[in-house]
Amino acid sequence: MARDKCMRALGGGLLALALAASGPLDAAGFALFEQGAKATTLGGAFAAQADDPSAMFYNPAGNAFNEKVTLSGGAFFILRPSAHFDGGNPYPGTGYSANMKKVLYYMGSGYMVVPLKPGSINIAAGFWTPAGLGVPWAYPDQWAGRFISQRVDLRQVAGSVQISAKLTDWLAIGAGPEIRFSDVKLSQNVGLFNPFSDRFVDVAHLSLQSKGTPVEWSWNAGIMIKPCDRLRFGAAYHGGVTFNYEGEAEFGQISTGNAQLDAVVKSRLPVGTSVPGGTSLEFPDLLMFGASYDLTPKLTVNVDGNYTWWDVFKQTAITVQGLGTKVIPHGWENTWTIRAGLGYQATESLWVGGGYLYDQTPQPDYDVGPLLPDANRTGASIGVGFKLGKHTRIDISSLFLWFHQRTTTSNEAGFNGTYKLFAILPGVSATMSF
């Protein structure tokens, strides 16, 4: 009877997930989901399992079942073995090609869970990296897209203090305020038509950087339901935020070789000085939900869906004093991601797992360009967790992310071509309990 109850509940949960995900399957963008190595091993399908301190991100309710003081910390690295662009017509032309610069990016997380009433009410504090973006083009002064973007770097860190409570043996909840910190850097060249040579030439380099670290507030919440011993359902929500970045813009003049034209440029641009500049970005709300089922006492399967409200990312307005405001339309759409993972407790001290995700881009064709060339993604992950003594666990994971080839023919700035990207995200987490 108990097994039949579990199977009926599991079937109902999977049907609800399938119906919810029956629309367009999208998410991608510049959101980051790798906030714990164990969860990443499972393809990020962790909302219903959430059995380590990274539950602060994946589902705050999961920490309600923790009975010990627990510390966890980790890091992820982003490697791009391949990031290639082939030009399209009419510009920059089918014979043109370029690559992104190979830069090592990293992000970190740290969590602490303290039982106030062991196995019932806990408090957790921690930080993670919910969003980020790095698009640096190699040989930026020769790069054909340099008048649109040579490099963009976006960082965001979130911190939270959460209370989680086990209300019954089958129901737990968790929630807390969320503080976000962020900064952004943009760089590009400025071009001008040279009437003396009848060519479009570089006349200045523009660098725009936010000043200080803007702070915004949001919130998070989660729920976990266990209708039977082998089955868990979970859902979590993170609110969105809007950042207004205020900073400085600097213009460095590039000589054209013509003194008369250089003088005109110097009279029009504030070269050699810093002037106020800024922009604003809206980061979306995120909903995660899923099911976790123990096929055997050692083998667990997880399936998750994520819904992201990307429609807030309509446009970016970049303002530089004296030069007015440049508006870049984006027109992104709300999106879904599907994730699945399988974990196996091979021995008392060894756990292994793997995962899969499918992630369609929310970015329309006209917005695909040097600033952000996003695409549909397919990911596969593997990992291992092992105990060192009674109190320490180490998890090591690696996510392999294939960006589907993306060709744009209607870029807003008239810069068209084909983008091919592949990324590897290795990570490690260490967890200690007392």
- Residue 69 structure tokens: 């003081």
Is residue 206 assigned to a domain?
no
In a domain, 396, yes or no: yes
| High-pLDDT (> 70) share of the chain, % | 94
Number of Cβ atoms within 10 Å of the Cβ of 364: 15
* 62 vs 39: CA distance, rounded Å: 13
Q: What residues contact residue 184 under an 8 Å CB cut-off, 6+ apart?
A: 152, 153, 154, 155, 209, 210, 245, 279, 281
Range of the domain at 421: 2-145+155-177+219-241+286-433
Quote the pLDDT of residue 153: 95
d(CA 242, CA 283): 6
Q: Report the C-alpha gap between 393 and 373 in whole angstroms.
A: 38
Residue range 321-339, pLDDT digits in tens: 878 899 999 999 999 999 9
Residue 28 confidence (pLDDT): 65
Which pLDDT does position 377 carry in this prediction?
96
d(CA 212, CA 167): 42
**How far from chain centre, in Å, is Cα 47?**
17
Is residue 249 within a helix (H) or strand (E), and if so which, with residue range?
Answer: strand 241-253
In this model, does residue 256 exceed pLDDT 60?
Answer: yes
Percent of the chain at pLDDT above 90? 87
For residues 51 and 265, what is the distance between their CA atoms, to the nearest angstrom?
A: 60
Q: Is residue 399 domain-resident?
A: yes
Q: Is residue 195 part of a domain?
A: no
pLDDT at residue 273, as a whole number: 87
Specify the pLDDT at position 4. 52
Q: Is residue 428 part of a domain?
A: yes
Classify residue 93: in a domain, yes or no. Answer: yes
pLDDT at 258 over 50: yes
Is the pLDDT at 109 greater than 90, yes or no?
A: yes
State the average pLDDT over residues 285-313.
97
We report the CATH number of the domain holding residue 299 as 2.40.160.60
For residue range 189-231, what is the model confidence (pLDDT) as tens digits? Answer: 999 999 888 899 999 999 999 998 899 999 999 999 999 999 9
Q: Residue 3: pLDDT band by 50, 70, 90 thresholds? A: low
Checking 296-300 for CB contacts under 8 A at 24+ apart, the result is: 297/345, 298/344, 298/345, 298/346, 299/342, 299/343, 299/344, 299/345, 300/49, 300/342, 300/343, 300/344
Asked if residue 207 is part of any domain, the answer here is no
Q: What's the length of the chain?
A: 434
CA 355 from chain centre, in angstroms, equals 18
Residue 186 domain-assigned (yes or no) = no
Q: What is the pTM assigned to this prediction?
A: 0.91
Query: At residue 117, does pLDDT exceed 70?
Result: yes
**DSSP SS3 for 19:** helix
Q: What is the pLDDT of residue 173?
A: 98
Residue 367 φ then ψ, to 5°: -95, -10
Cα–Cα dist 175/414, whole Å = 46
pLDDT digits (tens, 9 = 90+) for 45-69: 999 999 999 999 999 999 999 999 9
What domain count does the chain have?
1
Q: Are 18 and 289 in contact (CB under 8 A)?
A: no
Tens-place pLDDT, residues 381-406 = 999 999 998 999 999 999 999 999 99
- Residue 92: which region, alpha, beta or left (left: phi > 0; alpha: psi -120 to 50)? alpha
86 — pLDDT class (breaks 50, 70, 90):
very high
Mean pLDDT of 34-38: 97
pLDDT tens digits along 330-373: 999 999 999 999 999 999 999 999 999 999 899 999 999 999 99
Residue in 323, 329, 143 with CA at minimum distance from that of residue 251: 323
